[in-house]
Structure 1
């Protein structure tokens, strides 16, 4: 395979630039925590018992693994226009690089301050890297890494999700 073509200027400008800063559409709700814990049969008392939560974590918290839940947009919301997608910068990369297919190659999460009921969270997406063209079993494409950084209403870091994705074009496309 020949040397990978340069990245389009629009993609180069995205790397390292915080984009799509969003605030949660509603304060963190304990009902979502209960529903999530019930769905996966998570009986950890810090999510169910206020006294245990107060003793262990200083009060009720959401499971850290729910971090991305708070930013999954509803398919409809009053006043919202157009398609609403999570991880919008990923879809931007697919379009700009003309790579119509994609898979998540890896996902890692690092947690900071706990998320508590009533918190209002803010997230931003940062493209950390876009690799050269590469031929894989799925097709020809590129790997890219996106950080989704989240803070609470006090500006405290609550976590970062790190996604490595492969955008590609199938051989028959």
Structure 2
């Protein structure tokens, strides 16, 4: 028996608190306050989405919307726990979590300043596989339905969480051997990145929608770039999720469920848990970044304790990037209807992320009752490493 086979045998996930929760509704956090214009602006700043319809009051007033409108991606920003709550259910001792992917369905109800979203959550299912990254690894899925204060359906999300033993991932050090040292960008390289970013943001700044008959299979969308990523950018992203602001949410539980999962400890490895009692006095003790499971995103030493080589980005952010990119191309008269994104690896500190997309199919008649184009999108780092693969259906006007 090889050493790796012996290690795989000795590392096991304790799922005794998981199985009886499959298929059941769960609770979680509910934001107290409605979405404000500043919340929308904070979100698009963090997602590096300079579409003026989301932040420029004068531009937005002259548009068909008559005022600011939130990007479709904000649904996850107005949720508790980055949308991963229904996929992180059950106590697994000494575990950690990273995002594995997201699937979204959007129903055409926009979010505006003054709107408030409410969530229904359900733990869908899970499977366990042996991975090079951490040995025995759980891939769990959970569903969230987002409705506004009028009961109108805004979006549905199915999130995939990857739960694993932090010590096992740390021992294997997969990313230590793969990503190399933090890239040092030359001034010329940074100027080229900024040039590409500017060209993308100007490519459809006015929000003009391409017509269904004007696009063809094989057409490529304008390339986008985000980065270089940094501790500052990761912190900005995290702080745009409103549940991280002190006192913004309260706990809610589903009715009629025995032992509902609401805010129990999912088994975070030592040094990554919350201090729920201490947070009543010092709310920093459960905000996730100073204390909690997200601290590895901005702390290279803590990142190493959960199998990451250095500070790294958020899965929910990558999902939002995909939605924003596609929605900006679709313009004011189009919209993203569906995305399915698989997260292959994180965006590490010092890297940049490139977006490349192509139309692969067209449907004049669809199950949505509207014309759709299907788009394949890939996010890669500067060295060609795949971070995300995404398939999406985007509505365009006739």
Q: TM-score, normalised by structure 2?
A: 0.34
How big is the shift at 1:30? 0.9
Find the counterpart in structure 2 of residue 106 from structure 1. Answer: 101
Bigger drift between 117-126 and 37-46 goes to 37-46
Find the counterpart in structure 1 of residue 149 from structure 2. Answer: 153
Find the counterpart in structure 2 of residue 24 from structure 1. Answer: 31
Partner SS, residue 103 of structure 2: strand
CA distance in 2, matches of 1:154, 1:51: 24
Pick from 68, 74, 77 the counterpart of residue 66 of structure 1: 74
- Superposed, 1:36-47 pairs within 5 Å as 36-39=43-46, 40-45=48-53
CA contact (8 A) 2:88 2:140 kept: no
CA distance in 1, matches of 2:54, 2:42: 15
CA contact (8 A) 2:87 2:124 kept: no
How big is the shift at 1:72? 4.3
Partner SS, residue 71 of structure 1: coil
Aligned CA RMSD, in angstroms, stands at 3.3
CA distance in 2, matches of 1:45, 1:15: 41
Structure 1: 5+ residue stretches without partners: 74-84
Q: TM-score, normalised by structure 1?
A: 0.71
How big is the shift at 1:5? 9.7
Residue 110 to residue 63, structure 1, CA distance change in 2 (3 Å): same
Aligned residue pairs total 155
- Superposed, 1:92-171 pairs within 5 Å as 92-93=89-90, 95=91, 97-98=92-93, 100-112=95-107, 113-131=109-127, 133-139=128-134, 140-169=136-165, 170=168
Q: Deviation per CA, 1:136-169, whole angstroms, max 9, x where unpaired?
A: 0122121111112211111111112221122112
Bigger drift between 109-118 and 57-66 goes to 57-66
- Superposed, 1:8-23 pairs within 5 Å as 8=16, 10-20=17-27, 22-23=29-30
How big is the shift at 1:21? 5.6
Residue 41 to residue 22, structure 1, CA distance change in 2 (3 Å): closer
Partner SS, residue 160 of structure 1: strand
Residue 17 to residue 88, structure 1, CA distance change in 2 (3 Å): same
User: Which protein is bigger by CA-based radius of gyration?
Assistant: 2
